[in-house]
Amino acid sequence: MKYLMLVCTDPDYKPSPEDLENAPDVEAWVEEMDGRGVRLMGNRTRPATDATTVRVRNGEVLLTDGPFAETKEQMAGFDIIDCADLDEAIEVSSKHPMAWGGMIELRPFWDDDAD
């Protein structure tokens, strides 16, 4: 089962000094998950100020500067992971450093393989 990991900031949360100290390292996370064959791809994304929102209305392409939804939480990156089930996806996400200071939303793919 494939999941999109939306890696987001949480501006309202200040991690404790212990969590900051113990939070895993992102390089190590990528290495582990690539090695396990769990992580298919992923990247950091530029902040919302660099975003462009595209709409087509009545055949006309309309562009807006910025994200489609203004939220305090910002998407900072994404990963696509392939896991046995939700429990494995949760385990993978909880080892990502951004889960310790921000948050991660897990979205299962609509159409997984031949389903």
Q: Which residues bind other proteins (CB under 8 A)?
A: 1, 83-87, 89-90, 106, 108, 110, 113-115
Contact 91, 106 (CB under 8 A): no
Whole-number minimum distance, CB 86 to other proteins, in Å?
5
Taking the least distance from each CB to other proteins, the nearer of 76 and 106 is: 106
Q: How far is the CB of 3 from other proteins (least distance, A)?
A: 8
Give the three-class secondary structure for 99.
Answer: helix
What residues are paired with 21 via a beta bridge? none
Closer of 83 and 92 to other proteins (Cβ): 83
Burial of residue 14, with CB atoms counted within 10 A of its CB: 0-12 exposed, 13-18 middle, 19 or more buried: exposed
